[in-house]
Amino acid sequence: MATIGIDVGGSKAAAVLLDETGAVIGSEWREHASDQFGVVDVVVALVEELSRSEHVDRVGVSLAAWLTPDRVGVLIGANLGLEATPLQARLVELLGVPVVLENDGNATAYAEYTRGAGSGSRMLVSLALGTGVGGGIVADGRLLTGANGFGAELGHLQVETDGPACVCGGFGCLELYASGRAVAAAAGRPTRQVVAAARDGDSEARGALAGAGRAIGRALGRIVAVVDPDAVLLSGSLAESASELILEPAQAELARCLPLSAVLRPVAIRLGSCGRDAAALGAAELARAAVISSGGEVTEQRGDTNE
């Protein structure tokens, strides 16, 4: 029995195939059209491709989207062209196996907890720095998703009270300072060029990345007071390409604004270890951990190591 995990991003979908033990035995990716048909098509195509050699009995799908609290559908996925889409039922009908949905920030956190740099952590905080900033918290082995499914939206933690308006309706959110989009805007060029220029010593580029790091440190100062983490991990394309240029200012800012400093030691901010497939791996692990009823329905999917 094998499991497939698929991460559907803005224009590409990446898939991994795990065997019974959780080992990666295949991977694939495809571009897709960003609308509900494109998203469904690409998931079906990737599952067909990867299930040629193995009998796949569960599929996990990670999406850059806000999901319904019960994880059966997408509420809003602006970058995917999705709105009010009952995605789980549609995919179950087409694939004929149980399907688990989760947002990409949570899926990334779950991958790091189950098989990455956060394994064994009691309270894991994960920030995925890509086009936006995804967040995830794994508390005692379970994703913290909140009462309405929007828990751990750490990219929308306010770091500047007088900051600009965010797409979420808030102001001064972390995502406005620490995402790839924010870094590109601050340095006036594409993110990849910013990172390359910063490595060559360009002060404006270094400043943009350090600004992202400081915003992360400030956000973490607040997160620490709420959840007291023992692992804090950064992942995503921006964190991986500019790790030390972001990690050092983030750590310094966290030390500067650490609450409870009489009793807490600053937790080390580290790079995640699941790489670019983190969200796909996390989706697969969530599918593996899900409780499936005898009728083939997902009855519990947030992961629970106690079961």
Q: Which is nearer to Zn ion, 123 or 133 (CB)?
A: 133
Q: What is the 3-state secondary structure (H, E, C) of 93-134?
A: HHHCCCEEEEEHHHHHHHHHHHHCCCCCCCEEEEEEECCCEE
d(CA 72, CA 189): 39
Contact set with Zn ion (CB under 5 A): 156, 166, 168, 170, 173
Query: Nearest approach, Cβ of 155 to Zn ion (angstroms)?
Result: 7
Q: Which is nearer to Zn ion, 10 or 26 (CB)?
A: 10
- CB atoms near residue 297 (< 10 Å): 13
Q: Which is nearer to Zn ion, 173 or 195 (CB)?
A: 173
d(CA 228, CA 121): 12
Phi/psi at 274 (5° precision) = -90, -5
Q: Which is nearer to Zn ion, 59 or 173 (CB)?
A: 173
> What contacts 21, CB < 8 A, 6 or more positions away?
none
Query: Nearest approach, Cβ of 148 to Zn ion (angstroms)?
Result: 16
Query: Nearest approach, Cβ of 174 to Zn ion (angstroms)?
Result: 8
Q: Which is nearer to Zn ion, 79 or 243 (CB)?
A: 79
Phi/psi at 292 (5° precision) = -110, 130
Query: Nearest approach, Cβ of 156 to Zn ion (angstroms)?
Result: 4
74 and 68 in contact (C-beta within 8 Å)?
A: yes
Query: Nearest approach, Cβ of 87 to Zn ion (angstroms)?
Result: 23
Q: Which is nearer to Zn ion, 2 or 133 (CB)?
A: 133
Per-position DSSP letters for 226-294, written without gaps between them: HH--SEEEEESHHHHHTHHHHHHHHHHHHHHT-TTTTTPPPPPEEE-SSGGGHHHHHHHHHHHH-EE-T
d(CA 298, CA 61): 13
Query: Nearest approach, Cβ of 138 to Zn ion (angstroms)?
Result: 22
Q: Which is nearer to Zn ion, 94 or 166 (CB)?
A: 166
Query: Nearest approach, Cβ of 157 to Zn ion (angstroms)?
Result: 8
Tokens of 283: 């989706």
86 and 39 in contact (C-beta within 8 Å)?
A: no
